[in-house]
Amino acid sequence: MSGKGICIDGLKKRYGAGDTAVDALKHVDMRVGPGEVVGLIGPSGSGKSTLLKCLGAVIDPSAGRMVLGDEVIYDNGWKVRDLRALRRDKIGFVFQAPYLIPFLDVTDNVALLPMLAGVSNGESRAKALELLSALDVQHRARAMPSQLSGGEQQRVSIARGLVNRPPVILADEPTAPLDSERALAVIRILNEMARKFQTAIIVVTHDEKIIPTFKRIYHIRDGVTQEESGEGRGFG
């Protein structure tokens, strides 16, 4: 599906200018292969969210290079014209809170993404149901988001992140609201999905209980990343 996953080189982000400028990202290098789930951990204010926003094409980096799959999306300037389409087609988002659309049922919350890309309603819903089954929430397909448990909502939001088969998924503290059993289940699902769809997944987390499940972890401190490859880590 994607050639090389995610490749970030020398990414910088400065907020503001002059005296009040903040260098949120000073030097970020990261590689995430297709089918791989890596953890991104760091203290508060270290630049984790800023990195996800740059990669998610919702804020402009200041310098550096980003490659998604085999497409250079940023090289000291955006290389794609339609960032909205880039987000829709190439990047799946999973948030700390599920942020489902309250007035759409579970199926349509997921099916909305292919619909936005111009896929027919029927086909979009078929895709959505396929993912909901993969995530084991197909029995809640017609429920409204408010009728789901927190864990179910999070699985629906993962399904939404995956439905367009993006080469990249960015997850910002996806397990924060869940107990450890559910948190581990979510990570297991992300691993399965990564393997199944050859997706490159970055999981930002503070969550001690899931940290041991990553094969590779990036630490970020004061806007600088450092890779740590753990021995004996891994899942399943």
Partner 1 sequence: MISLAGRDILHAWGKFAFTGLGLGLLIGVTLTMAGVYRGMVDDGKALLDNSGADLWVVQKDTLGPYAESSSVNDDVYRTILAMPGIARAANVTYLTMQVRGHDNDVRSMVVGIAPGKAGTTPGWPPYLVAGRQITRGHYEAVADIATGFKLGDRIAIRRNHYTVVGLTRRMVSASGDPMVFIPLKDAQEAQFLKDNDAIWQSRRRTEASPALNRPGVPGLLDAVIASQSTNPFVNAVLVTLKPGYEAEEVAASIRRWKRLTVYTRAQMEAILIGKLIATSARQIGMFLAILAVVSAAIVAFIIYTLTMDKIREIAVLKLIGTRNRTIAAMIMQQALALGIIGFVVGKISATFAAPLFPKYVLLMPVDSVASFGAVLLICVLASVVAIRIALGVDPAEAIGG
Neighbours of 163 (CB within 10 A): 23
Closer residue to Mg ion, CB minimum distance, 44 or 146: 44
Neighbours of 212 (CB within 10 A): 14
> Does the footprint of partner 1 cover residue 101 (CB under 8 A)?
yes
Q: Is 145 exposed, middle or buried (0-12, 13-18, 19+ CB in 10 A)?
A: buried
Residues 93-152 that bind Mg ion (CB under 5 A): none
Closer residue to partner 1, CB minimum distance, 56 or 167: 56
Q: Is 168 exposed, middle or buried (0-12, 13-18, 19+ CB in 10 A)?
A: buried
> Does the footprint of partner 1 cover residue 89 (CB under 8 A)?
yes
> Does the footprint of partner 1 cover residue 116 (CB under 8 A)?
yes
Distance between CA atoms of residues 137 and 81, nearest Å: 36
Q: Indicate the pairing of strand 37-41 with strand 216-221.
A: parallel
Residue 163 Rama label (left phi>0; alpha psi -120 to 50; beta): alpha
> Does the footprint of partner 1 cover residue 22 (CB under 8 A)?
no
- Binding span for partner 1 by CB under 8 A among 96-104, 174-182, 190-198, 218-226: 96-104
Q: Which of 26, 71, 95, 219 binds partner 1 (CB under 8 A)?
A: 95
> Does the footprint of partner 1 cover residue 142 (CB under 8 A)?
no
Return residues touching ligand ATP (CB under 6 A): 15-16, 22, 24, 42, 44-50
Q: Which of 30, 160, 175, 191 binds partner 1 (CB under 8 A)?
A: 160
Length of the chain: 236
Query: From Mg ion, ligand ATP, partner 1, none, which one binds at residue 69 (CB under 5 to 8 Å depending on kind)?
Result: none
- Binding span for partner 1 by CB under 8 A among 12-20, 82-90, 193-201, 209-217: 82-90
Residue 73 Rama label (left phi>0; alpha psi -120 to 50; beta): alpha
Instruction: For Cα atoms 24, 29, 32, give the angle at the middle one, nearest 5 degrees.
Output: 120
Closer residue to ligand ATP, CB minimum distance, 4 or 219: 219
End-to-end CA distance of the chain: 23
Q: Which of 9, 49, 83, 219 binds Mg ion (CB under 5 A)?
A: 49
Least distance (Å) between residue 9 CB and partner 1:
22
Q: Which residues bind partner 1 (CB under 8 A)?
A: 49, 52-53, 56, 58-59, 84-85, 87-89, 93, 95-96, 99, 101-104, 108, 112-113, 115-117, 121, 144, 160, 172
